[in-house]
A and B are shown apart, each in its own frame.
Chain A
Amino acid sequence: MKMEPGKASLVNTHKILMKGLETIMNPRKFALLFATLTMMLILYACGGGEQKTGETGEQKAPETTGPVTQIDPATAATVTGKISYEGEKPKPIQIRMDAEAACAALHKEPVYAQQVVVNGNNALQYVFVYVKEGLGDKNFEISKEPVVLDQKGCMYHPHVFGVQAGQPLKVLNSDPTTHNIHPVPANNREWNKSMSPGVTPLEQTFPREEIMIPVKCNVHPWMKSYIGVVKHPFFAVSKEDGTFEIKGLPPGEYTIEAWHEKLGTSTQKVTVGPKETKSVDFTFKAAAVIS
């Protein structure tokens, strides 16, 4: 009896599948496959592993596409201001370091999260303020001086900071315990490095502008920091009293943005003349807290 073409192809497919399965499941061939996979893993293990700290990051510094704009100190302007918080002050959140004895031993007093820090006079700390618009395509000299991020007391110091695209970032571990440092960028390459106690500082760069890059330690999940990467040197972070200062600006009209990790962003326009100092204040409202 002749089989229908559809049925025949179904039977053939079934046969092929069964044969394939039998081939894979053949103990000898499976052992060969397993050995190959194991070899590949071993080879990988020999070549991979922990990156030696102290090595420079693989990310290349950005190449300037035009002449570097020199800042004339005779005409350089300054933008200052204060960041305020409006509304009921959030209750400080205590960090539980009891899970890690080495961290807990480093603190005699309770440690609080730095996500919304409102000091006296409603001053809001840890707000990244930078020139968002107004500099056009001007290129500025990239500082060779590294910005230092320290892991101390199982906290990041500083909590929020800025760096120029291509400027070195030096990471220290001053703690008697192991950390991993893991920035989670959207426009730059992600990396995750382990840092044992007393290890040689790690140096990395972020070649592309990005507001902001969260930094985590997955060993101690309360450890968080934020890096603002900008092409120019015109940025600042609000201090304990909420004030900030951006110096050395060429005269012009600028859009200044203030960024906060939980309260979002706010922008204002400002025009500064030669040697002029202008004040730009920002106020963040309690209701704007981002989950």
Chain B
Amino acid sequence: MFKQRELNSSERGATWLHRFALVATFSTFVLIIAGALVTGNEAGLAVPDWPLSYGSLMPPMVGGIRYEHGHRMVATFVGFLTMILAFWLWRGESRRSVRMLGFLALGVVIIQGILGGITVLFFLPTIISVSHACLAQAFFCLMVSLTLLTSPDWRQGVPKIEDRNNFSFRRLCVLTTGSIYLQLILGAALRHSKSGIVFHLVGAFAVTVLAMLVVTRVFKYYPNVSSLLRAAWVLSILLLAQLFLGTGSYLIRLATRQDVQPGLAMVTITTAHVAVGALVLATSLSLTFQSYRVLSQANRVRRFSTAPQKVAL
């Protein structure tokens, strides 16, 4: 009869650390939604002061204050979780790079909080608001990375598969993740400045092409690598949903431009577009991590037409 191996205290600690990272990452995703609700409901300046709200820690939660102060509350919670995670990693994580990543996340969440304050005190300057939105996605990426790196699966070694393609899958994943991040910057710029739709559309096309390349390559070359296959499926579904939400956001903005107040449908669709955008980025990032974990670069022999000798790379 199969007997499950008992975890030692160190392994148990690592499992709890991973679970904590997972909670912090989920909270960060909720924070992104809360931030999108603030912008969607035009409530960015509903609380004129910062770091306090109406001179207190708990203002009357009415109208737009609900969204703005709610966002601040979730942000504070995420800040605390990140602080605990960074110190937990410092104390309990053996890999130096992961410990550093924890502190980097803490630094980013502090800067993000200050940027949020500056947007309020300087009446939402576009550059700061866009930076705030972009840094939020970067922070989410850091949290996703920490969750992946602390997972028990990640700690176990896996046999490497050789990638024989000229343009390696790993590089393709990095390029796709980078493009998605750039596309999110363009989306944030469009949302906060109400201009630049053409750039965002071109970005959407580029991201779709790259993501489809990633997905098709997984289906073609690595259908037996479950970690890659799972992520590729999720990426293709999320991308499809994101394209629909993007079209929906544009159309509903167009249809409601004469409205005197933000409508529920507009807020829901645009917020979902931001949230799914974050998930697309996170999925592509985890696919990139997985590609570095399970694939290895093949040693190739390159021939130079002008030189007779072979150069091993």
Does residue B13 face the partner (Cβ distance < 8 Å to A)?
Answer: no
A99, A184, A216: most-surrounded residue (chain B CB, <10 A): A99
B48/A192 in contact, CB under 8 A: yes
A25/B104 in contact, CB under 8 A: yes
Stretch at the interface among A55-63, A160-168, A218-226: A218-226
Partner of A178, one of B50, B54, B114, B259: B54
Chain B residue with the shortest CB-CB distance to A181 = B48
A221/B43 in contact, CB under 8 A: yes
Contacts of B63 in A (CB 8 A): 99-100, 103, 177-178, 219-221
Partner of A34, one of B44, B51, B68, B110: B110
Give A289 to B257 CA distance when docked, in angstroms.
12
Give A134 to B258 CA distance when docked, in angstroms.
36
A218/B261 in contact, CB under 8 A: no
Give A159 to B52 CA distance when docked, in angstroms.
31
CB contacts under 8 Å to B, within A42-86, are 44-45, 48-50
Contacts of A103 in B (CB 8 A): 63
Count chain A residues whose beta carbon lies closer than 8 angstroms to a beta carbon of B: 41
Partner of A25, one of B49, B60, B64, B100: B100
Q: How far is the CB of B297 from chain A (nearest CB, A)?
A: 21
Contacts of B50 in A (CB 8 A): 48
Does residue A6 face the partner (Cβ distance < 8 Å to B)?
Answer: no
Contacts of A184 in B (CB 8 A): 123
Contacts of B41 in A (CB 8 A): 221
Chain A 14-25 interface 0/1 with B at a Cβ cutoff of 8 Å (1 = within): 000000010011
Question: Given the known A-B contacts A49-B52, A190-B123, are A178 and B59 also in contact in the complex, defined by CB atoms under 8 Å?
Answer: yes
Partner of A291, one of B65, B257, B261: B257
Give A147 to B33 CA distance when docked, in angstroms.
41
Contacts of B107 in A (CB 8 A): 24, 30
Give A177 to B46 CA distance when docked, in angstroms.
13
Question: Given the known A-B contacts A45-B52, A180-B47, are A220 and B103 also in contact in the complex, defined by CB atoms under 8 Å?
Answer: no
B261/A182 in contact, CB under 8 A: no
Chain B 250-266 interface 0/1 with A at a Cβ cutoff of 8 Å (1 = within): 00000001111110000
Q: How far is the CB of B48 from chain A (nearest CB, A)?
A: 4
Contacts of B51 in A (CB 8 A): 41, 44-45, 48
CB contacts under 8 Å to B, within A100-156, are 100, 102-103, 113, 115
Give A48 to B65 CA distance when docked, in angstroms.
19
Does residue A32 face the partner (Cβ distance < 8 Å to B)?
Answer: no
Q: How far is the CB of B261 from chain A (nearest CB, A)?
A: 4
Question: Given the known A-B contacts A49-B49, A100-B62, A193-B48, are A27 and B54 also in contact in the complex, defined by CB atoms under 8 Å?
Answer: no
A219/B64 in contact, CB under 8 A: yes
B46, B55, B99, B107: most-surrounded residue (chain A CB, <10 A): B46
Contacts of B100 in A (CB 8 A): 21, 25
Partner of A95, one of B43, B55, B261: B261
Q: How far is the CB of A155 from chain B (nearest CB, A)?
A: 11
Does residue A270 face the partner (Cβ distance < 8 Å to B)?
Answer: no
A50/B45 in contact, CB under 8 A: no
Contacts of A178 in B (CB 8 A): 54, 59-60, 62-63, 65
CB contacts under 8 Å to A, within B19-72, are 41-52, 54-55, 59-60, 62-65, 68
Q: How far is the CB of A226 from chain B (nearest CB, A)?
A: 14
A177/B258 in contact, CB under 8 A: no
Does residue B90 face the partner (Cβ distance < 8 Å to A)?
Answer: yes
Contacts of A216 in B (CB 8 A): 45
Partner of B48, one of A27, A34, A182: A182
Question: Given the known A-B contacts A45-B51, A50-B49, A93-B260, are A27 and B64 also in contact in the complex, defined by CB atoms under 8 Å?
Answer: no
B42/A27 in contact, CB under 8 A: no
Contacts of A100 in B (CB 8 A): 62-63
B123/A218 in contact, CB under 8 A: no
Give A216 to B64 CA distance when docked, in angstroms.
12
A221/B49 in contact, CB under 8 A: no
Partner of B45, one of A34, A180, A289: A180
Does residue A269 face the partner (Cβ distance < 8 Å to B)?
Answer: no
CB contacts under 8 Å to B, within A189-229, are 190, 192-194, 196, 216, 218-222, 224
Question: Given the known A-B contacts A41-B51, A100-B62, are A218 and B45 also in contact in the complex, defined by CB atoms under 8 Å?
Answer: yes
Give A222 to B262 CA distance when docked, in angstroms.
8
User: What are 15 contact pairs spanning A and B, CB under 8 A?
Assistant: A25-B103, A30-B107, A45-B52, A48-B49, A50-B52, A96-B261, A99-B63, A177-B62, A180-B48, A192-B45, A196-B60, A218-B42, A219-B64, A221-B43, A222-B260
Q: Which residues of B contact A (CB under 8 A)?
A: 41-52, 54-55, 59-60, 62-65, 68, 90, 99-100, 103-104, 106-107, 110, 114, 123, 257-262
